[in-house]
Structure formats: C-alpha cells, structure tokens
Amino acid sequence: MARDVFSEMEPFRIKMVEPIHLPSGEDRARFLEEAGLNVFLIKGENILIDLLTDSGTGAMSDRQWAGLMMGDETYAGCRNFYNLESSVRDIFGFNYVLPCHQGRGAENVLHSAFIKKGDVIPGNTHFDTTKAHIEHNNGRAVDCTVDEASDPYLDHPFKGNVDLKKLEAVYKEFGKDRIPFTVVTATCNSGGGQPVSLENMRAVKKLSAKYGIPVCLDGARYAENCYFIKTREDGMRDRPIKEIARMQADCFDMMTMSAKKDAIVNIGGFIATGDPAIYDRIKNFGILFEGFVTYGGLAGRDLEAMAIGLYEGIDEDYLGYRIGHVRYLGERLKEAGIPVLWPPGGHAIYLDMKKFLPQIPPDQFPGMAFCAHLYLESGVRGVEIGTLLNGRDPDTGKNRPATLELVRLTIPRRVYTYRHLDYVVEAVKKVWDKRRQIKGFELTNEAPVLRHFTARFRWAP
Ligand SMILES: *Cc1c(COP(=O)(O)O)cnc(C)c1O
C-alpha cells in the first residue's frame, strides 16, 4: 500500500542542530555500571538517542523562542500570564488558569486542596506522579480502565477508556463524601499512550454529575487524544482539532496540565477550571507551593512559550506527522517480529517484556534489564513502565507486579528524524537476537516514593 508521504513528513525545517555522539562500547559499559545499572542515572551527554521521555524534551519553534524574548518579568500580573490565560480560554473554554511549574506541581496544588485521608480517586490507569500525589495526601487511586487495555495485542481504537460499570461500583461504594474527584488521563500514558473517546468522556461526565462528583482531565497529551478522536471516532473526521479540544474540555470541571508534553515547552504546567469556587479553593495552595497566581513557579518568558505552544500542539499538520512518526516506529518493530503493544500510542511505542524476556520474573524487573542491554548495544535509552514503576503496595510493602510489563520508547516532539527511528529499530533487533541470555536485576537501593527515578541494581545470578 502506498504510504501517504506528505502527511508523514516533517511539517517543519531545521534551523538549529545539536550534535549527538555514540560513546564506545567500553565506555557505555562503564557508564551503566556507574549508574547502578539504572539508565535513568546515566548522564544525558552519554546517550545517543534518548527515548526516556517526551516530557520537556521537545524542540520549541522559532515563534516560541521569539516569545522567550518577550518575557515580562513583573512579579504580579505579567503580560505573559494574560496571554496564557487567553490561549487556555480560547482552546479549552476554562476562564480560570493557575500556572504551575509542571504537571506534578499542578497535582500537588489540586490534591492538597481536594484530598483528605481515606479518600478514593478513581481513574483510568493514573500516571505515576498522579498516583504518588494521591498517596502522599493519604488517598488511594482506584483503576477503572476498560478490560481491553490489559490485552496488549487487542486492536481497539480507545483502550484508554473508563469502564463505566467499574466507575459506578466505586461511586456506589464510597460516594461523593470520599471521592473528591475522578481523573481521566488522555491519552493514557501508563496504559500505553492509548486514547479515550469523546463518547466515553461524555458518559463519565454524565455518570459523575449524577453522583455529584467533579471530573478532572489530566491533559498532558490532550491534543494527541483529539487527533485520535478525529481519526477514529464516528462523525469526527471533518471537525477541526480545536473544536474537538473544546468538546473534550466541556466534559470536565477542571484540568491539570503538564505543558512539557502537548504544549511543547521545556518547562511549565497549569490548572484550569470554569468554576470560580474550584479556583478559590486551589489558589492559596498555588501561592503556598508554586508562587503568586500569575506566575506559578515560572518566569514570564516560560508562560509566553506555553501560550504559543498550546496552539502549535493542536496544529493539524503537526499532529498528523507526530502520530504517524510514532506509528512508523511501531510498524517497523512489529514487522521485525518484536512484541509491541498494539495499536501504537500517541507519544511512544511500548515493548511487551512478558513476551520479550519471559524468563525474568516481575520482581527482577525485566524492563530494566532490557533497557540496560539496549543501552549497551546502541546508546539508546528507553524506560521501564512495569513493576519497578508500579512501586510497592502502601499497605503490605510488597512489590505490585504490573499487569503489563512494558518498556516505553518515547518520542520527543520535533526532535528525531525517521532515520533516527530506523537506528532504534536495528538496536532493538540486536537485543531481541540475544534475549535468551539476558538475566534479571536485584535491587540494591530504593527510595520510599517514586523509586524508579533513583533505584540501583546488580545483575541477578
Ligand atoms: C508527565 C505527566 C504528568 C506529570 O507532569 P510533569 O510535568 O512531569 O510533572 C502527569 N500526568 C501525565 C499523564 C503525564 O504524562
């Protein structure tokens, strides 16, 4: 079948370049050893192609860089805040905007205002920082994702959807006194970058309204989600992305945003809502944790880049290229017989470690072992999304074996070319060819929260 070369090609040209370099095999082995076998702890300059995350790793446009020069560094009421407010109002229809330094800053503010001990926050595979902030506030995250999401090979258009029966059961059990809000993550990062349909969001909104429970959008990848709605949902194909973004936002009482994703900035985030009572409730926590309400831990210039980036993130040519670029990596890997979660996510391709390294049990972290070998072979860095990330059960202290044991190859926005992706495919094939000799990990050092950032290991015997 002929490929649609126009829609796949990069809708930009390159005006500045940043050299990358492959360290020698000997050096790579040493860097990995020094990092306690955790690729997270290797210096960025020693990575050739970095697919650790798409968070804050995108390339800003010429307009965004120009925006940096327009930073108004007034403490209170800087011009750039009002530009951000105007972008958020125009795209999402939310009148109240509280800037935060990044997504977890927004979560900290919102959760501090809303969650009390013993509360329950239902959602569709909560992101790791979201879950950690819920638990930090002595609440509990309850996963209500559709069962289709746990089959890595089931080709379903909206594997991020919320299961309404599961959600209603939680509503019935705990009621609005113990459920301060429900969170819908779109696309669903920890669930494979899978989208949520507009129909599902509308149904969640309706059900939640019946029980008097507010709904929050975790909107880090709201634009990629809109593109999936446009291309996969009935009756959406002819609607502009911006219109879909508004229809999506209309299903929510509030949103938290890591602007480091779909707003294509290196730092930034916000909370937005249409409800003045919610804004009143969060704003003092914003001042306490992030800074005054018109800057929220950011410089004026960062707010400006975000105000511009929000529009670039919903540009249709950009989104067509973006989703196609990620899909290209997934298709090449699948053709090579590598077990990849299907369909491809919006921002990343996920490798199925239960099939790749079946000999390694969950508590020996097959995803971590894979990442170590991928780095040794090629200088490429991926990230484990599995049992290490899942952490320990706060009640029992035991490892929580992940339903899906994955490695994520995350594509930064507007940074790597198709040729870089070809190199990644060859690198994964090399690890695949020696998969039967690969051993697991033993933990030697572990932090009590978000342990995947700093854990250290040795090879299991
Ligand atoms: C990245 C992310 C966050 C946290 O945002 P940071 O900017 O990294 O703090 C929250 N939710 C989702 C879905 C994310 O992808």
Q: How does pLDDT run across 85-128, given as a tens digit for each residue?
A: 999 999 999 999 999 999 999 999 999 999 999 999 999 999 98
Whether residue 343 is preceded by a cis peptide bond, meaning omega within 30 degrees of 0, is yes
Residue 391 scores a pLDDT above 90:
no
Catalytic residue among 143, 218, 302, 352: 218
Tokens of residue 278, six digits: 């919610």
> Each residue of 191-222: b (16+ CB within 10 Å) or e?
bbbbbbbbebbebbbebbeebebbbbbbbbbb
Query: Are 328 and 418 within 8 A, CB to CB?
Result: yes
Task: Give the Cα separation of 321 and 315 in Å (integer).
Answer: 10
Task: Give the Cα separation of 455 and 388 in Å (integer).
Answer: 9
Predicted pLDDT of residue 3: 58
The strands making up 383-385's β-sheet, listed across from edge to edge, are 348-352, 406-410, 383-385
* Beta-carbon contacts of residue 276 (< 8 Å; ≥ 6 apart): 95, 96
Residue 461 scores a pLDDT above 80:
yes
In the structure, what pLDDT confidence band is assigned to residue 1 with cuts at 50, 70 and 90? very low
Residue closest by Cα to atom 6 of ligand 1: 103
Predicted pLDDT of residue 206: 98
Residue closest by Cα to atom 11 of ligand 1: 127
Of 450 and 109, which is predicted with more confidence? 109
| Domains, the chain, with CATH or none | 5-54+316-459 (3.90.1150.10), 62-312 (3.40.640.10)
Residue 116: CB atoms within 10 Å: 11
- In tens, the pLDDT along 173-229 reads 999 999 999 999 999 977 789 999 999 999 999 999 999 999 999 999 999 999 999
Percentage of the chain beyond pLDDT 70 is 99
Burial of 177 (0-12, 13-18, 19+ CB in 10 A): exposed
The residue count of the chain comes to 461
Q: Which of 386, 410, 412 is nearest to 399 (CA)?
A: 386
Q: How far, in Å, is the centroid of ligand 1 from the Cα of 415?
A: 19
Return the best residue to mutate from 255, 258, 350 for the ligand 1 pocket (most ligand atoms within 8 A of CB): 258
Question: How crowded is the C-beta side of 318, counted as CA atoms within 13 Å?
Answer: 24
Q: How far, in Å, is the centroid of ligand 1 from the Cα of 218?
A: 8
Tokens of residue 226, six digits: 């809109």
Residue 348's alpha-carbon distances to 173, 176, 324, 340, 394, in angstroms, are 35, 35, 11, 11, 29
Q: How far, in Å, is the centroid of ligand 1 from the Cα of 220?
A: 6
* DSSP track, 325-381: HHHHHHHHHHHTT--B-SS--SSEEEEEHHHHSTTS-GGG-HHHHHHHHHHHHHSEE
- In tens, the pLDDT along 317-341 reads 999 999 999 999 999 999 999 999 9
Q: Which residue in the block uniquely carries the two structure tokens 């996510």?
A: 345
Positions of E strands within 228-347? 254-258, 269-273
Residue 190 CA: which ligand 1 atom is closest?
A: 13
Catalytic residue among 372, 452, 455, 457: 452
- In tens, the pLDDT along 128-185 reads 899 999 999 999 999 999 999 989 899 999 999 999 999 999 999 999 999 999 999 9
What average pLDDT does the structure give for the chain? 95
Residue 449 gets which letter from DSSP?
S
Q: Which residue in the block uniquely carries the two structure tokens 């996963």?
A: 143
Residue 119 gets which letter from DSSP?
-
Pocket of ligand 1 (CB under 6 A): 55, 102-104, 127, 129-130, 185, 189, 218, 220, 258, 260-261, 269
Residue 351's alpha-carbon distances to 263, 276, 314, 338, in angstroms, are 26, 43, 28, 8
Return the best residue to mutate from 40, 261, 267, 450 for the ligand 1 pocket (most ligand atoms within 8 A of CB): 261
Positions of E strands within 199-276? 215-218, 254-258, 269-273
Task: Give the Cα separation of 238 and 311 in Å (integer).
Answer: 19
Told to judge if 128 belongs to the known catalytic residues of this protein, a careful annotator would answer yes
Told to judge if 114 belongs to the known catalytic residues of this protein, a careful annotator would answer no
Residue 61 gets which letter from DSSP?
P
Told to judge if 186 belongs to the known catalytic residues of this protein, a careful annotator would answer no
Catalytic residue among 132, 141, 220, 249: 220
Question: How crowded is the C-beta side of 461, counted as CA atoms within 13 Å?
Answer: 0
In the structure, what pLDDT confidence band is assigned to residue 5 with cuts at 50, 70 and 90? confident
Task: Give the Cα separation of 139 and 141 in Å (integer).
Answer: 7
Task: Give the Cα separation of 118 and 22 in Å (integer).
Answer: 49
Q: Which residue in the block uniquely carries the two structure tokens 């706060």?
A: 394
In the structure, what pLDDT confidence band is assigned to residue 8 with cuts at 50, 70 and 90? confident
Return the best residue to mutate from 189, 222, 302, 383 for the ligand 1 pocket (most ligand atoms within 8 A of CB): 189
